[in-house]
Amino acid sequence: DSFERTIYLPAGSWRDLNDPETVYEGGQTITYQASLARLPVFYNEDAQTNRSTTAAELLDGIEEIFAYLAEVEKQIPEERFR
């Protein structure tokens, strides 16, 4: 199940880690389709980074978090979502 989130992005260029080809210009509010499997995660391209970490490694870490969240969601009784 997906849902819309309104997200304010501060000044700068923000890359969507769910879709690395998508870059948003900051200083605006965007509407984002999200879900537990697709949390809104953005990387500020203007920030200083650890150059030894690649985008692929960041995505791998995020995928591990999503997998963990999916397992946690399975443990929540369904009636809690009603």
pTM of the model: 0.58
pLDDT at 44 over 80: yes
Please state, in angstroms and as integers, the Cα–Cα distance from residue 42 to each residue in 8, 21, 25, 69, 81, following that order.
11, 12, 11, 18, 27
> What digits encode the pLDDT tens for the residues 49-82?
555 666 677 777 888 888 888 888 788 777 665 5
* Cα–Cα distance for residue pair 31/67, rounded to 1 Å: 24
> What digits encode the pLDDT tens for the residues 7-28?
999 999 999 988 989 999 999 9
